[in-house]
Structure 1
Amino acid sequence: MRLPVTSVQVTEVERVTPRTARITFEAEELDPGVGGSPDQQVKLCFPRPGQDAPVLPERNDDAMGWYQAYLAIPEAERPWMRSLTVRRRLPGTRLLEIDFVLHGDAGPASAWAERARPGDRLGLVGPSELYARPVPLGSAVAAADWVLLAGDETALPAIHTLLAALPAGTTALVFVEVADRAEEQPLPAPDGVAVRWLHRDGAAPGRPLTEAVVAAELPAGTPFAWLAGEAAAVRTLRRHLVEERGVPKASIEFTGYWRHRFTQDDAPTAEDLADAREKSAQATAD
């Protein structure tokens, strides 16, 4: 299966909260059967200064050949690449909605999204099952007594898709940390789903989320837990669930989307590498 690499063009920009931009892209190519599963991740390629559009790696039939082609681009021309989550694939079209958390010019994705206009172009790697392992939502929920979703604003698009895909009647607790009340967004909340918003209001990233989950009175039984957001907070929550709540490691899906005081261009820490090894081992076991 070939991992798609294509060009996308902005068709619409909507500011859904003061710090969130929802941008709709139309892809030159997009396989009809992908992009609609929960928590579907893609990579976006952003142009370097002075470029109208990013230089994209050559396409080939090797699933990972795109990355070697990406590295072969001269560094001064090589696009910045960031991982984001598809909020919605519009059925029957080549349109994708992707939400960007805006935090000024601290990174290429946020800086680009602050200024994005219809007609702007980026590169897209994915969506593909080869790139992001689908969350085993159906089997995981069937084997669990209830569901726990916990993350910050970077996890909101994935949480939205996960809630929309939950079987009717599922008991679920959702904890979402955002900067303040203005950053709350509508989420699917059918019967049995309770959503709790947590506001940083100047607190350190991840602190309100970890404190709320640790202090929460959770339902009886074994949950399926999905954790995403700031890497250290995700690591703390996972350790708490395993060591203090007795949740089996196999019942937890976890991803550190970002790292406080680091960028995706910075080298991984020892803890990042340990998480990656454990996720790889878990995927192999599944």
Structure 2
Amino acid sequence: MTTAPFEFFELHVLRATRISPGFARVTLGGAGLGRLASGGRDQRIKLFLPRPGQQEVAVPVGAGTEWWPAWQRMDADERAVMRTYTIREQRRAPDELDIDFALHGDTGPACSWALTARPGDPATVLGPVEEDNGGVDFRPPTDADSVLVCGDATALPAVAGILAALPPGMPARVWIDVEHAADRQELPTKADAEITWLCRDVPPGPGGPRGATVDGQPAGAKHPMLEAMRAAAVPGGAPYAWLAGEAGCVKALRRHLVNDRGVDRRRVTFTGYWRRGTSEDDLIRQAIAAAA
């Protein structure tokens, strides 16, 4: 029997904090968390939460690599709520795991849980037990001489992990689209990084549109990251790009890089973390229907 490269971790809330207008941070702990081996960067995990009114997190523990069909077979009214998140930070001694929730007016079950979580509340994580795992997408080629990173609020934890992992001196151009200037965070990095925050609540400058970045560069109303990238110079001759956020915006960014900038499509990693007008529950139902 092949050992699965991931497992369920039955955890509980240690702390829950509203760290800014648009973000809540929940810190999880629990026995066995020391086995979780994050690959850093944009490490994905599955977060399972009890349904409203329930105390247990119902997941198919022991299903191994067959967890997904096993979870599907569970009663839809009983199985845990499942969401995909990026690890914001993992610490040892003691073992703790931070997950940041982008709120932006979302009243879905995960954000509601994050805003009301209390110490001791249960949560289960499906996470890797090997550092080199399929939940990491940021994988620049060895000849990359610069990095381009674009992400909205949902991608901010991944952007933070990527910047922390970049090698010293690596030229990096970063755009982050958030609702509030107060949502900006310290993003430590050893790279030669130029970070532009596109804050939607920054008042416009003279003659400038709403959504100007905090350093005064204007951004378009529909896709601020796309307009900011169009106006910017790209460092290096062999860049690698990582793009994440709303699916429509991410596709537009990729088209710009490939069609307008001539970047090899194989050097662009793009992921739709969410889709406008569609919840993750909708996407899960679509995936179940397609599998059936």
Q: In the alignment, is residue 257 of structure 1 matched against residue 260 of structure 2? A: no
Tell me the residue number matched to 2:206.
none
Tell me the residue number matched to 1:82.
83
- Structure 1: which 5+ runs fail to align? 273-286
Query: Does the 8 Å CA contact 2:13/2:27 hold for their aligned counterparts?
Result: yes
* Structure 2: distance between partners of 1:67 and 1:235: 27
* Structure 2: distance between partners of 1:121 and 1:248: 45
Q: In the alignment, is residue 170 of structure 1 matched against residue 170 of structure 2? A: yes
Tell me the residue number matched to 2:228.
212
Question: What RMSD in Å do the two structures reach over aligned CA positions?
Answer: 2.4
Q: Residue 47 and residue 92 in structure 1: after superposition, are their counterparts in 2 closer, same or farther (change >3 A)?
A: same
For residue 146 of structure 1, what is the amino acid of its counterpart? S
State the TM-score, normalized to the length of structure 1.
Answer: 0.85
* Structure 1: distance between partners of 2:225 and 2:148: 13
Q: In the alignment, is residue 57 of structure 1 matched against residue 76 of structure 2? A: no
Number of aligned positions between the proteins: 265
What is the DSSP-based 3-state SS (H/G/I as helix, E as strand, rest coil) of the residue aligned with 1:83?
A: strand
* Structure 2: distance between partners of 1:92 and 1:67: 32
Q: In the alignment, is residue 48 of structure 1 matched against residue 51 of structure 2? A: yes
What is the DSSP-based 3-state SS (H/G/I as helix, E as strand, rest coil) of the residue aligned with 2:35?
A: coil
* Structure 2: distance between partners of 1:229 and 1:94: 29
What is the DSSP-based 3-state SS (H/G/I as helix, E as strand, rest coil) of the residue aligned with 2:196?
A: strand
* Structure 2: distance between partners of 1:28 and 1:165: 27
- Structure 2: which 5+ runs fail to align? 202-209, 212-219, 288-292
* Structure 2: distance between partners of 1:165 and 1:33: 18
For residue 270 of structure 2, what is the amino acid of its counterpart? F
Tell me the residue number matched to 2:135.
132
Judge which range, 13-22 or 205-214, deviates more: 205-214
For residue 24 of structure 1, what is the amino acid of its counterpart? T
Tell me the residue number matched to 2:119.
118
Identity of aligned residues (%): 40
Report the Cα offset of residue 152 of structure 1: 0.7
Tell me the residue number matched to 1:232.
248
Tell me the residue number matched to 1:7.
10
* Structure 2: distance between partners of 1:170 and 1:206: 30
Q: Residue 36 and residue 157 in structure 1: after superposition, are their counterparts in 2 closer, same or farther (change >3 A)?
A: same
For residue 243 of structure 1, what is the amino acid of its counterpart? N
Q: How big is each residue's C-alpha offset from its partner over 1:100-148, in whole Å with a ceiling of 9 and x where there is no partner?
A: 11245521111111111111111211135555145324xx2x4112111
Query: Does the 8 Å CA contact 1:102/1:114 hold for their aligned counterparts?
Result: no
Q: In the alignment, is residue 67 of structure 1 matched against residue 68 of structure 2? A: yes
Report the Cα offset of residue 23 of structure 1: 1.1
Among 278, 282, 286, the residue aligned to 1:266: 282
Report the Cα offset of residue 245 of structure 1: 0.5
For residue 68 of structure 2, what is the amino acid of its counterpart? Y
Tell me the residue number matched to 2:204.
none
For residue 149 of structure 1, what is the amino acid of its counterpart? V
* Structure 2: distance between partners of 1:121 and 1:33: 17
